[in-house]
């Protein structure tokens, strides 16, 4: 019995059990989703341990051999993504207990929450292009519904915008899949990668690649395609904003882009510098534009949403640099950003839960009333800005080192200058919400909310201090899995498949 299908089977099964269990005994819905996400976390740790020895584990659905049936290809990069998803899902679920008590129909929330988890897990471990699309749509449809969960005017409008943008992306991806299938007659990622090398320098090759990059840029909310995100994040309930900002755009946009560009199309900076320059361009544009826009925001969550776009730009920049340091930095940045931005959105949820407003001008003096929230915010913000002992610093440092090694000194300087922007906009929240003296009615955050925030704070600090083992055992192998490029297909076809 392999453990790999459990990653999406467990949340999928619990998503269908939750409505039934909710009818029997209401608190069960929360218990099920928290326990399942914790089990996923343990499984993800086990996955990391297993991928230390084996570069690739393949699970054949229905025991069909690779090019014919759907396979699940689990390598170090998948293991890494699965680990972060499970961390953010676990804290989000923990946080939801008290936060969602204001809403009705909680079982609907947890069902969608688990479906979204299943979809994201599926994207990260599948080895089949159409299967990837199906999981992408499962996760995307549940996230559209979750954004509209509050059914206020604002939520509905944000959700409609998100559907329109997201579906244009999803359908473009589907069209690209149809074109690739027409040319290669296969959907297996490994098989496609060998077939595509035959038609390497044709218009068809660049056209499908362009369509996919377009689709994933919408999903990742990179700057020219970002307009859905600043509406969608503030509208969603805080645990969902935390999940969307922390991990969703990374799985939908960044993971898929990295996997397709490096392993399926087999591109490297040496043989196709054009594509990587486009990634750098999109990254820089996102960092600069979203960072500057964030400075003007008056809404707590909207500011964080713009900050999120800007940080995703850094991740794209790392992949665009394309050498070992750049890719390691980008992958560590996914981890750092997932934890920090997940945490910042949880603090926003805690503030909203206590005061009922997200307006930066109305909020004041919460630093003394909500010490846990305030300190969680500070640690998270410092990690986003990139202060030395925290994990965000090492991620930024590696990306900048990658830029210098690749010979882009100007890019390194630009990245350092632009990261000052994050200091500016995060200080705005700090000064107006936590530092400013003022009176506003606020209760302290409930216990489970604080546990969720403290868990993430501890992770940010620990991973920062112990960043060397993290790079050696988790991030480094993940970067190698990507930089292996076309070797991916050899590993899938000739890989260890029994018992795992």
Partner 1 sequence: MIIFASCIILFLIGLYAIVTKRNLIKIAIGFALIEYAINLFFALVGFKRGALAPIITQLDTPHNFVDPIPQALVLTAIVIALGTTALMLTIILRIYNRYKTFDIAEIRKLRG
If binding is defined by CB under 8 A, does position 214 make contact with partner 1? no
Q: Give ∠ CA 262-396-46 in degrees, rounded to 5.
A: 60
Q: Which stretch binds partner 1 (CB under 8 A): 71-79, 80-88, 175-183, 467-475?
A: 175-183
From 21, 54, 145, 483, residue interacting with partner 1 (rule: CB under 8 A): 145
Question: Quick one: 230 or 367, whose CB is closer to partner 1?
Answer: 230
- How far apart CA 299 and CA 307 sit, in angstroms, is 12
63: left (phi over 0), alpha (psi -120 to 50) or beta: left
Question: Quick one: 135 or 434, whose CB is closer to partner 1?
Answer: 135
Question: Quick one: 86 or 310, whose CB is closer to partner 1?
Answer: 310
Token reading at 194: 């060998």
> CB burial class (10 A; 0-12, 13-18, 19+) of residue 353?
buried
* DSSP result, 41-73: HHHHHHHHHHHHH-SEEEEEGGG--TTTS-EEE
CA distances (Å), origin 282, targets 22, 236, 306, 388: 44, 26, 15, 27
CA distances (Å), origin 421, targets 291, 306, 336, 416, 449: 6, 12, 18, 10, 29
Question: Quick one: 213 or 290, whose CB is closer to partner 1?
Answer: 290
If binding is defined by CB under 8 A, does position 141 make contact with partner 1? yes
* DSSP result, 107-128: HHHHHHHHHHHHHHHHHHHB-B
Site string for partner 1, 183-212 (x = CB under 8 A): --x-x-------------------------
Residue carrying structure tokens 């584990």? 57
If binding is defined by CB under 8 A, does position 144 make contact with partner 1? yes
Rg (CA), the chain: 21
Backbone torsions φ then ψ of 484, nearest 5 degrees: -60, -25
Interhelix angle 476-483/324-355, rounded to 10 degrees, is 120
If binding is defined by CB under 8 A, does position 130 make contact with partner 1? yes
Q: Is 188 helix (H, G, I), strand (E, B) or coil?
A: strand
CB of 142 to partner 1, least distance (A): 10
Q: Which of residues 149-168 bind partner 1 (CB under 8 A)?
A: 151, 153-154, 156-161, 163-164, 167-168
From 58, 83, 84, 148, residue interacting with partner 1 (rule: CB under 8 A): 148
411 HSE (CA, 13 A, CB side)? 26
CB of 170 to partner 1, least distance (A): 8
If binding is defined by CB under 8 A, does position 413 make contact with partner 1? no
If binding is defined by CB under 8 A, does position 309 make contact with partner 1? no
CB of 294 to partner 1, least distance (A): 12
CB of 461 to partner 1, least distance (A): 35
Closest of 141, 148, 145, 134 to residue 166, by C-alpha? 141
The site that binds partner 1 (CB under 8 A) totals a number of residues, namely: 32
Question: Quick one: 214 or 473, whose CB is closer to partner 1?
Answer: 214
Question: Quick one: 154 or 472, whose CB is closer to partner 1?
Answer: 154
- How far apart CA 237 and CA 219 sit, in angstroms, is 20
If binding is defined by CB under 8 A, does position 285 make contact with partner 1? no
CB of 349 to partner 1, least distance (A): 20
If binding is defined by CB under 8 A, does position 387 make contact with partner 1? no
Site string for partner 1, 223-262 (x = CB under 8 A): -------xx-------------------------------
CA distances (Å), origin 137, targets 82, 162, 250, 375, 430: 18, 13, 15, 37, 37
CB crowding 56-79: b at 16 or more within 10 Å, else e: bbbbbeeeeebbeebbbbbbbbbb
CB of 293 to partner 1, least distance (A): 8
Question: Quick one: 161 or 396, whose CB is closer to partner 1?
Answer: 161
Question: Quick one: 38 or 130, whose CB is closer to partner 1?
Answer: 130
Question: Quick one: 226 or 484, whose CB is closer to partner 1?
Answer: 226
CB of 148 to partner 1, least distance (A): 6
Question: Quick one: 207 or 409, whose CB is closer to partner 1?
Answer: 207
- How far apart CA 237 and CA 109 sit, in angstroms, is 10
If binding is defined by CB under 8 A, does position 182 make contact with partner 1? yes
If binding is defined by CB under 8 A, does position 308 make contact with partner 1? no
Could you tell me which residues come within 8 angstroms of residue 135 by beta carbon, excluding any fewer than 6 positions away?
8, 118, 119, 120, 122, 123, 126
If binding is defined by CB under 8 A, does position 171 make contact with partner 1? yes
If binding is defined by CB under 8 A, does position 178 make contact with partner 1? yes
CB of 384 to partner 1, least distance (A): 22
Which residues would be at the binding site for partner 1 (CB under 8 A)? 130, 134, 137, 141, 144-145, 148, 151, 153-154, 156-161, 163-164, 167-168, 170-171, 174-175, 178, 181-182, 185, 187, 230-231, 293
């Amino acid at each position: 019995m392999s453990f790999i299908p459990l990653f999406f089977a467990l949340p999928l099964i619990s998503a269908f059990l939750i409505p039934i269990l909710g009818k029997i005994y209401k608190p069960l819905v929360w218990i099920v989703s928290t326990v399942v996400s914790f089990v996923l976390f343990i499984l993800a740790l086990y996955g990391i341990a297993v991928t230390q020895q084996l570069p690739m584990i393949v699970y054949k659905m229905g025991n069909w051999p690779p090019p014919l049936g759907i396979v699940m290809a689990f390598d170090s990069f998948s293991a890494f993504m699965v680990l972060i998803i499970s961390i953010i899902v676990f804290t989000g679920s923990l946080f939801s207990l008290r936060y969602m008590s204001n809403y009705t129909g909680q079982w609907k929330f947890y069902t969608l929450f688990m479906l979204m988890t299943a979809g994201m897990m599926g994207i990260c471990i599948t080895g089949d292009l159409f299967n990837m699309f199906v999981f992408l749509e499962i996760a995307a449809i549940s996230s559209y519904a979750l954004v509209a969960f509050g059914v206020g005017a604002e939520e509905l409008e944000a959700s409609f915008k998100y559907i329109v943008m997201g579906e244009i992306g999803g359908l473009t991806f589907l069209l690209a899949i149809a074109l690739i299938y027409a040319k290669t007659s296969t959907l297996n990622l490994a098989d496609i990668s060998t077939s595509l090398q035959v038609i390497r320098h044709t218009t068809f090759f660049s056209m499908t690649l362009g369509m996919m990059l377009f689709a994933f840029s919408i999903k990742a909310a990179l700057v020219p395609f970002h307009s859905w995100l600043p509406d969608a994040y503030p509208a969603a309930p805080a645990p969902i904003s935390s999940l969307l900002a922390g991990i969703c755009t990374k799985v939908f946009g960044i993971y898929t882009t990295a996997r397709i560009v490096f392993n399926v199309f087999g591109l490297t900076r040496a043989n196709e510098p054009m594509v990587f320059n486009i990634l750098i361009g999109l990254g820089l544009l996102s960092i600069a534009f979203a960072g500057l826009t964030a400075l003007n925001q008056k809404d707590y969550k909207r500011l964080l949403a713009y900050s999120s776009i800007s940080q995703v730009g850094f991740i794209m920049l790392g992949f665009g640099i394309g050498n070992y340091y750049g890719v390691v930095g980008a992958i560590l940045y996914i981890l750092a950003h997932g934890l920090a931005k997940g945490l910042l959105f949880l603090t926003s949820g805690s503030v909203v839960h206590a005061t009922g407003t997200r307006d930066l001008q109305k909020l004041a003096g919460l630093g003394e009333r909500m010490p846990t929230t305030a300190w969680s915010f500070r640690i998270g913000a410092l990690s986003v800005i990139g202060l030395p002992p925290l994990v965000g610093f090492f991620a930024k440092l590696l990306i900048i080192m990658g830029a210098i090694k690749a010979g882009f000194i100007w890019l390194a300087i630009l990245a350092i200058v632009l990261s000052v922007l994050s200091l500016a906009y995060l200080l705005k929240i700090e000064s107006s919400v936590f530092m400013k003296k003022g009176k506003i009615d606020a209760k302290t955050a409930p216990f489970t909310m604080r546990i969720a925030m403290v868990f993430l704070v501890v992770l940010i600090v620990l991973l920062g201090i112990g960043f060397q083992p993290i790079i050696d055992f988790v991030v480094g192998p993940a970067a190698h899995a990507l930089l292996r490029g076309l070797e991916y297909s050899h590993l899938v076809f000739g890989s260890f498949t029994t018992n795992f």
